[in-house]
Every structure is written in structure tokens, then in C-alpha cells.
Structure 1
Amino acid sequence: MAMLVLHLRCSNQESLYNYDGNYHKHNTNSLPCFDRYVLESFFREYYNVVDPKFSEYMEHKILVGSEATFSRLMDLERRLNGEGSHRRLSSSIKVSIQPDRIADFSSHICEVILIERLPSGVFADPFELQHLLHRGVFKDASVFGDTNLELPSFLSNQSIVEVHLDAALNNSAGKEIVLEFKIEIPLHARYPPLEDSGYTEVRFGAPDLFMRCKMHGNSPAHSCSLSRITSSGSLELDDTIWSIPAGVKAHSGTVSIVTFASALLSASLIIIASLRSSRMESNRRLKKS
């Protein structure tokens, strides 16, 4: 079987949700497929991300009545780039499309959707993602869940990043299409709790991947197709681990004493300087009088 490999570069092309200007007409359907973001429907019902609840919702509500899977995850490589508390989660994705289904889909109106569930100790800056979106790095992107960037790790909840990537399925039938994507999501570590080792680990599981398309010859009520991109049984997807520097528990007493002493000394110096300044001002007034 012949195989054509397409190396796709993400760009701000025409989005699925305004295809032919008919998105608002089609939006009378309440299925998540018609929302701009797949996760919108989940966060209309829930505020926090709880893994069991989220997984159940994905299977029983978002994917209910969805198109049978016609794409397969061939390879997924993940790594963290950068150093310190500001890193970039890099993903290299290779997806195979069944050749007998290619003719069912229009060209340039399909997209791959990546849903990245972030651990509670890590966040993505919505403004940073928006900047990347304006540069054309992604077709679309958004952050859901806890977007309070100032909270420490133990006070924060999980958040989710949804990224959309263009997928052109415009080849003749009988040829397999292999889509390849390379994306980087900038991430930042929250202030972690104290640890004995001086480090805290956060783990990134495999992302959820979906294919969303506008289909040929269907009525508006069924014009949107959403399916999960599944992996073969032989593909092993290991967690990606980020070791974040944290305060050492054994040092907490010493740090508290030094901090208190420094604050007390600083306050004393300020009071002494204020008193001296007041006395000098009083002496000047007495001399003038």
C-alpha cells in the first residue's frame, strides 16, 4: 500500500467552527463537537478537574454518538525542554489515517485536538498561549480550570490546556496519510510544599487526542464528526517527570529563625532612623526660632 507522509505546519487557517459561515446555524446542536473548544461543555457543569470524573465525562458525554475511530496514534515522544521552574513540554505526534475513510472528509477543515491535563504543581499562562496563537504557532488554544497564577501548589487545583492543530486530509483514496506534529507548550512550576529531598516530582500522563472534522454530504445537525485518536497495543506511553526544586523540611526551623531575626532587625533600624530624623528636625526648628 502506498503511503504519503505529510509534515504539517500549524497556521491560522479557516477554523472548523466557522466553515462556510454556517457554524452559528449548526450550533443549535448541543453536542460538544460544535463548541469552539471540546472542554467548554465540561466546564459548564464542573469547576474543578477531577480525573475520574473527567474521564467518565469524556467517554459518556463528549464522545457519546461520536464517529467511529478512523485514526491511530503511531508514535508519541515527550520530553521537557529548558531548566529550572520554567520549562516547555515538547510532544512529537504521529497519526495514521485509515485510507478507506479519507474520501469521507473535506480537505483543510479537519483538526487534531490535544488535551493536556496538567498536575496541580504546574500551570500554563493563558496570556503566553494567546501570544503563541497570534504568532500562528497553534490553530487555537485555551486553558481551563485553575488559572490563578499566584497560588502555591498546595492551594491550587488542576488545569487543562486544549490545543488545536490543522490536519489536511486531501489525498486520493487508497493512500494512507501520516500526520506529524511537533508542538511545545510553555509551562511554569508553582511554589511547591516542603520536601525532605529538596525536590518534588510532578508527572505528566499521555495527552488525550481527538480528530474533529466537517463531513461531506451530511445534514447540518450531523455535519460535525469527533473521534478519539487511539494508540496500538504495542505503543508504550510512559509518564514524563518534572523534578521541581523545593524547600528542605529540615531547614525550615533555621530559615524561620533567620527570617524573623532579619525582619526584627530591619524594623528596629527603621524605627531608629525615624526617631533620629524627628530629633534632627526638632533641633533645626529650635535653632530657627
Structure 2
Amino acid sequence: MAVRVAAVRAVAWLLLGAATGLTRRSAVLGAARSDAGTRAMCSEIILRQEVLKDGFHRDLLIKVKFGESIEDLQTCRLLIKQDIPAGLFVDPYELASLRERNITEAVMVSENFDIEAPNYLSKESEVLIYARQDSQCVDCFQAFLPVHYRYHRPHSHDGETSIVVNHPDLLMFCDQAGSRGMIRFRFDSFDKTIEFPILKCWAHSKVAAPCALENEDICQWNKMKYKSVYKNVTLQVPVGLTIHTSLVCSVTLFVTILCSTLILVAVFKYGYFSL
């Protein structure tokens, strides 16, 4: 009799364990299917990067379009981390002036930055741009950054050189504490957090950066995957030719001597000297 009771108890425990395992597996599979369904419904993040104006002083314009409703993005902020190649520079004093006039929110990250150095004595720099919502598009952000060409070495044949502006890093921070999109529940030992759909779809790593331009607090931003409309922006910079070196030096020396002579003649002719 005791053996039969023990056998019944063993079978019951086995059935209970199997049922618990199936329940947990069903929960995990359900969550995975939910994630897959959420990702399937996600629209791509589209980034457009273009350069405006002509000459040695340009404007870099970055536009980002989300397919999500503005209700999902109203508690989110967008930060663009742009690398500036050595052939270009951003004037930190100009950025300070633009911030005072509320035209753009950008700040230099690189230190010991020389805006007068030529291309061959410069290094890449980094700028953080806090994007703003586009007034003409409810699910769009845009960022504006003035950039300038550096001086380049003359070439032997071609009168132009190329500068490649790589795609930026797109960082997003959402205030999850005050959002309706954050729900926490518990099912047995399975704990799950439902976040913003846009983060659930495209965030793939964390990056530490200042929370805002006006303070020094550090936030953990989500680095987002996106699709770019264009390839990397390529700028063509006119440069001098080495075959013109002798001509340019001769003309420069002649003009310098001529102007200096005229100044000296004017000084001795019209100047007043007291002994």
C-alpha cells in the first residue's frame, strides 16, 4: 500500500513539474512572439544628411523621421553624435553665439581644438547636437550645424580634394517613468518590462552622454539603428596646384615689395619727423 501511494505521489510530482515547465515555456514563447510581432510592426527610422550653401562655409543639416505616433515620442529626446573629419572644422565660438540666439543646440566634445590649423595638422573632432522636433512634421526631428573647410596642401595634378562626412550616431533617451508605455508585470519567475515600441525595435546599445545642453548630468542614451537615405556625404574642396608654386611666390614677393616701397615713399614724402 505504501509503495502504491509513493508511486502515485511521484507521478503527481512529475505531472506538476511538466505542467510548470510548459507554462514557463509558453510564457517565454509568448513573449518572443510578442517581440517579433512588435518588431514586424515597427517602421524604419529614416535619416537624411545633406550639406547646404556653397563655398568654404557650409551648413550640415540632419533630418530624422520616425514612423511612430508623436504620442510615443513626446517624452523622448534625440541626440546626434557627429564626427567631423580633419578637413573640416566647427567653430566653438560660433556655436556659442548660435546657442545664445536659440538657433541650434550643439557643443564641441573635443578639447584643445585649433580652428586655424590646416588639414594636415588637424585631427578629427566630435560634436553633440540636440535635435529639435520639426514644426512641419509631427514625427520628425532635425539638427543644424555650421561647418567650414580647412586649408589643404596643394596637389600636383588634380585641383580638388574630397572630404567624406560619415553618418552620425543616433541616440535616444525616453523618460520611461512618466510614460504610459511602461508596464511591469510578473508571471511566476518570468519578469518582463514593456518599453517604448521604438526602443524595443531599434535600440541596440547604451551610450553615456550629457542629459541636456544646460547641465552636466549624464544619462544612458539608447544608440538607435536607422536607414540612411544617402551614402556618406562627400565634399569637393578646391586646392592649389604645385606647378603654380613658383608663379605664386614670385607674384606675392613682387606685390609685397611694391606695396612696401609705396608705403615708405608716402611716409617720407608726407610724414612729419621731429628731431
- Tell me the alpha carbon deviations over residues 154-173 of structure 1, each in whole angstroms, 9 at most, x when there is no partner: 22222211111357xxxxxx
The partner residue of 1:230 within 204, 209, 225 is 225
**In the aligned structure 1, how far is the partner of 2:98 from the partner of 2:260?**
45
Asked whether 1:263 is paired with 2:224, we answer no
Q: Unmatched 5+ residue regions in structure 1?
A: 1-69, 168-177
User: Match for 1:267: what amino acid?
Assistant: S
Are residues 238 and 274 of structure 1, via their aligned partners in 2, closer, same or farther at CA, if it must alter by over 3 Å? same
User: Match for 1:230: what amino acid?
Assistant: K
Are residues 134 and 270 of structure 1, via their aligned partners in 2, closer, same or farther at CA, if it must alter by over 3 Å? closer
**In the aligned structure 2, how far is the partner of 1:184 from the partner of 1:190?**
20
The partner residue of 1:202 within 163, 186, 202 is 163
| Aligned pairs (5 A) from 1:104-143 | 107-108=74-75, 110-138=76-104, 140-143=105-108
Q: Which residue is 1:37 aligned to? A: none
Q: Which residue is 1:188 aligned to? A: 148
Contact 1:76 1:94 in 2 (8 A): yes
TM-score by length of 2: 0.58
Contact 1:211 1:228 in 2 (8 A): yes
Q: Unmatched 5+ residue regions in structure 2?
A: 1-38, 183-217
Q: Which residue is 1:93 aligned to? A: 64
Shift of 1:272: 4.7
User: Match for 1:259: what amino acid?
Assistant: T
- Tell me the alpha carbon deviations over residues 61-99 of structure 1, each in whole angstroms, 9 at most, x when there is no partner: xxxxxxxxx997521222211111111112221135599
Q: Which secondary structure state, in structure 1, belongs to the residue aligned with residue 172 of structure 2? A: strand
How many residues are paired up?
Answer: 193
Are residues 257 and 122 of structure 1, via their aligned partners in 2, closer, same or farther at CA, if it must alter by over 3 Å? same
Shift of 1:116: 1.0
Contact 1:153 1:191 in 2 (8 A): yes
The partner residue of 1:242 within 230, 235, 246 is 235
- Tell me the alpha carbon deviations over residues 100-137 of structure 1, each in whole angstroms, 9 at most, x when there is no partner: xx5xx9x53x3111011111111112232233323334
Contact 1:112 1:164 in 2 (8 A): yes
- Tell me the alpha carbon deviations over residues 45-71 of structure 1, each in whole angstroms, 9 at most, x when there is no partner: xxxxxxxxxxxxxxxxxxxxxxxxx99
> Larger RCO: Structure 1 or Structure 2 (Cα < 8 Å, ≥ 6 residues apart)?
1
**In the aligned structure 1, how far is the partner of 2:266 from the partner of 2:98?**
50
| Aligned pairs (5 A) from 1:34-45 | none
Contact 2:46 2:229 in 1 (8 A): no
Q: Which secondary structure state, in structure 2, belongs to the residue aligned with residue 78 of structure 1? A: strand
Between the aligned residues of both structures, percent identity stands at 26
Q: Which residue is 1:51 aligned to? A: none
Q: Which residue is 2:195 aligned to? A: none
Are residues 281 and 160 of structure 1, via their aligned partners in 2, closer, same or farther at CA, if it must alter by over 3 Å? closer
**In the aligned structure 1, how far is the partner of 2:106 from the partner of 2:177?**
26
Contact 1:73 1:229 in 2 (8 A): no
Q: Which secondary structure state, in structure 1, belongs to the residue aligned with residue 131 of structure 2? A: strand
Q: CA RMSD in A?
A: 3.7
**In the aligned structure 2, how far is the partner of 1:270 from the partner of 1:202?**
42
| Aligned pairs (5 A) from 1:1-40 | none
Q: Which residue is 2:176 aligned to? A: 215
User: Match for 2:62: what amino acid?
Assistant: S
Are residues 154 and 224 of structure 1, via their aligned partners in 2, closer, same or farther at CA, if it must alter by over 3 Å? closer
**In the aligned structure 1, how far is the partner of 2:58 from the partner of 2:142?**
16
**In the aligned structure 2, how far is the partner of 1:184 from the partner of 1:276?**
55
